[in-house]
Chain A
């Protein structure tokens, strides 16, 4: 195992972990406000399909990213209408949204299967451009990859260092108290869902426009659920989510490297890694107040009528 091979694993992990991290960050924002989005898989699919279609039609990948974000935001607002305005059960609404997303994304993407798009450009960091070509290609990433860590820090800052974030977390813990303090829980949850949907949209755009450069039906292959598991793994904390996303995508990259040495780790077993990690975290820290889920996560806020 050469240093180059290990660097390769890290490079692969960064490439494939980016979409997962954006999605996880989006779900953290939503869950911090008290709403669990089990339909995330469907949100991702609709965003990935719309973004890919928009890139193919416009010939501009940035238009695709924008459309994917809008699609993600819209899908999450549909969930918001169900669970905030209509006060429907969150789990049932999420599952319905997911199946709706399966069908809608297949319909949107149908005409664009096999379409050729212009992917996002790969940019080398200054100073790395005079490395040997092989190292250079390992470390040249697209803009969305460079933006993912600043985004994670920004989400942390907004959630934990601003009044808006404080209100959002207050609504997730105790909406009645937040209401008594003059906050509007419904409006705050809508905003949280919108932000979460935009972030999930970026994740989906990275998957279909920058990474795979292709649309295939059900191409997210469970990444929405992995993101939900990573939210629990990271204990609803944006910075710990970075570790979770890298751990999982690193495991996938390492398995592919092992294959070439003739060692076959079952990919089906490997797919359980995020859920095993989540279980371990739940077993280890489950009872501690500091790491507990937002207190009113999944609950319907009835409001005061």
Chain B
């Protein structure tokens, strides 16, 4: 009998050892200085920080604080997608002495807002949210202008006049990005159309490959996306020999050595560094911070090898126009797919309205719902 139970004991021990090994992954990246940190920052992300996408861009932005202010200590946690996990992670960070919390996932907003009431002495910054409080504010890049520039590049590069856009969900901001992209393409190529395919997930790689293939099979020869990691969409486009445009992180370019046009990503390091410095000197105030490409919060990746000089020059010219205020992306008249006027002549779409857009501009194929 004794010899018979031995294998099961061994199996249980091996399993337990493997489980322990798998759990021991959440190591904080701490670099305390001798005198103790001048500020401890807790940063949490919804996904893995090496995803070549959104989470990597946010991770690099947070890490930039430490490069400029070496005395800060950063406690970082990744793969915290859910609200319950976010709450306990932030509580844990505060127990470890964090006086500033940077939460970068959509689902982190309300847990952070609740904790901001419980810990009034801790500063909370959320990426991309809309709620405000005495010690709770948010920051984000402002991508529509850069999406317009990407549209200009795509409209000039396409030969089939068909552009493909892989999107996770029909959310207000996503629709605004798609609209800006199509408006940019139309401005240089009146025949350009953008076709949208939804995956209904932020990180379902197989669905992203399905959607990319479907768009290419429908004739698209430029593909771009708004999902967490651009890796699958860009790799798929590259393997089918069609152009791609990246978003979220500038690291996306590595997946398309040949057919890359350009891409944009979040580079919020300088603004986060400034926010951290105001926390250190006690002048922090809750502000609704939005900043674009001219403030250094968004950046454009280098152009790919197949992009001719005229296209680069045209994109630079439009960029200068936007920076000088001569060109406003969502300036009327703008009509939707049904021909209804959404922004009247002489008016502009406000930043508030951009977040709750539920229509596509003329020239987009697909359902905005």
State the A residues within 8 Å of B (CB).
4-5, 7-9, 11-12, 15-16, 19, 81, 85-86, 100, 103-104, 106-107, 110-111, 113-114, 116, 119, 122, 133-134, 137-138, 207-208, 211-217, 219-221, 223, 252-253, 256-257, 259-264, 267-268
- Which of the 9-residue segments B109-117, B234-242, B275-283 touches chain A? B234-242
Residues of B within 8 A of A212 (CB): 205-206, 208-209, 232, 235-236
Task: Indicate if the CB atoms of B216 and A261 lie closer than 8 Å.
Answer: no
Check A217/B218 contact, CB under 8 A, given A12-B213, A104-B22, A110-B25.
Answer: no
Check A264/B369 contact, CB under 8 A, given A15-B213, A216-B205.
Answer: yes
Docked Cα-Cα span, A116 to B255, in Å, equals 6
Task: Indicate if the CB atoms of A214 and B205 lie closer than 8 Å.
Answer: yes
Task: Indicate if the CB atoms of B214 and A257 lie closer than 8 Å.
Answer: yes
Residues of A within 8 A of B18 (CB): 100, 103-104
Docked Cα-Cα span, A100 to B18, in Å, equals 9
Q: Does B196 contact A (CB under 8 A)?
A: yes
A142 to chain B, nearest CB (A): 9
Q: Considering the complex of A and B, which 7 residue pairs feature the smallest CB-CB distances, nearest first?
A: A8-B217, A114-B52, A212-B205, A256-B214, A213-B235, A113-B48, A107-B22
Task: Indicate if the CB atoms of B217 and A268 lie closer than 8 Å.
Answer: no
Check A114/B206 contact, CB under 8 A, given A86-B7, A260-B218.
Answer: no
The B211-256 residues at the A interface (CB cut-off 8 A) are 211, 213-219, 229, 231-232, 235-236, 239-241, 251, 254-255
Identity of the chain A residue whose Cβ is nearest the Cβ of B166 in the assembled complex: A256
Task: Indicate if the CB atoms of A12 and B217 lie closer than 8 Å.
Answer: yes
Q: Select B200's contact among A119, A137, A268, beta carbons within 8 Å.
A: A268
B276 to chain A, nearest CB (A): 26
Task: Indicate if the CB atoms of A253 and B206 lie closer than 8 Å.
Answer: no
Q: 1/0 per residue B336-369: CB within 8 Å of A?
A: 0100000000000000000000000000011101
Task: Indicate if the CB atoms of A114 and B50 lie closer than 8 Å.
Answer: yes
Q: Select B206's contact among A103, A107, A207, beta carbons within 8 Å.
A: A207
Residues of A within 8 A of B239 (CB): 119, 122, 213
Residues of B within 8 A of A216 (CB): 51, 203-205, 229
What's the dominant secondary structure at chain A's contact region? helix
Check A113/B51 contact, CB under 8 A, given A212-B208, A214-B231, A263-B367.
Answer: yes
State the B residues within 8 Å of A (CB).
7-8, 11, 15, 18-19, 21-22, 25, 48, 50-53, 56, 79, 195-198, 200-201, 203-211, 213-219, 229, 231-232, 235-236, 239-241, 251, 254-255, 337, 365-367, 369
Q: A100-B18, A213-B235, A219-B206 are in contact. List 9 more A-B contacts (CB 8 A).
A: A8-B217, A15-B213, A111-B50, A114-B231, A119-B235, A213-B236, A221-B201, A253-B210, A262-B366
Residues of B within 8 A of A106 (CB): 22
Docked Cα-Cα span, A215 to B232, in Å, equals 9
Docked Cα-Cα span, A134 to B219, in Å, equals 8
Docked Cα-Cα span, A215 to B206, in Å, equals 10
Identity of the chain B residue whose Cβ is nearest the Cβ of A134 in the assembled complex: B219
Task: Indicate if the CB atoms of A252 and B197 lie closer than 8 Å.
Answer: no
Task: Indicate if the CB atoms of A16 and B217 lie closer than 8 Å.
Answer: no
Task: Indicate if the CB atoms of B231 and A213 lie closer than 8 Å.
Answer: yes
Residues of A within 8 A of B365 (CB): 260-262
Residues of A within 8 A of B25 (CB): 107, 110
Q: Select A264's contact among B210, B236, B337, B367, beta carbons within 8 Å.
A: B367
A201 to chain B, nearest CB (A): 16
Check A103/B229 contact, CB under 8 A, given A219-B205, A221-B207, A223-B206.
Answer: no
Residues of B within 8 A of A217 (CB): 48, 79, 203
Residues of B within 8 A of A114 (CB): 48, 50-53, 56, 229, 231, 251
Q: Select B216's contact among A16, A111, A137, A215, beta carbons within 8 Å.
A: A137
Docked Cα-Cα span, A197 to B52, in Å, equals 31
Docked Cα-Cα span, A86 to B50, in Å, equals 41
Residues of B within 8 A of A256 (CB): 197, 210-211, 214
Residues of A within 8 A of B216 (CB): 137
Docked Cα-Cα span, A213 to B197, in Å, equals 19
Docked Cα-Cα span, A114 to B235, in Å, equals 11
Task: Indicate if the CB atoms of B367 and A262 lie closer than 8 Å.
Answer: yes
Q: Select B15's contact among A100, A113, A252, A253, beta carbons within 8 Å.
A: A100
B9 to chain A, nearest CB (A): 12
Residues of A within 8 A of B8 (CB): 86
B63 to chain A, nearest CB (A): 16
Identity of the chain A residue whose Cβ is nearest the Cβ of B18 in the assembled complex: A104
- Most chain A CB within 10 A, of B48, B241, B366, is at B48
Check A253/B214 contact, CB under 8 A, given A4-B219, A216-B203, A267-B200.
Answer: yes
27 A-B residue pairings within 8 Å (CB atoms):
A5-B218, A8-B218, A86-B8, A103-B22, A104-B18, A107-B25, A114-B251, A116-B254, A137-B216, A137-B241, A138-B217, A208-B205, A211-B206, A212-B235, A213-B239, A215-B205, A219-B204, A221-B201, A253-B210, A253-B213, A253-B214, A257-B214, A257-B218, A260-B365, A262-B366, A264-B367, A264-B369
Task: Indicate if the CB atoms of A213 and B213 lie closer than 8 Å.
Answer: no
Docked Cα-Cα span, A12 to B7, in Å, equals 47
B316 to chain A, nearest CB (A): 29
Identity of the chain B residue whose Cβ is nearest the Cβ of A5 in the assembled complex: B218
Docked Cα-Cα span, A46 to B208, in Å, equals 21
Identity of the chain B residue whose Cβ is nearest the Cβ of A113 in the assembled complex: B48
A221 to chain B, nearest CB (A): 5
Docked Cα-Cα span, A70 to B89, in Å, equals 37
- Most chain A CB within 10 A, of B200, B205, B251, is at B205
Identity of the chain A residue whose Cβ is nearest the Cβ of B193 in the assembled complex: A260
Residues of B within 8 A of A214 (CB): 205, 229, 231-232, 235
Docked Cα-Cα span, A31 to B218, in Å, equals 39
Identity of the chain A residue whose Cβ is nearest the Cβ of B256 in the assembled complex: A116
Residues of A within 8 A of B231 (CB): 114, 116, 213-214
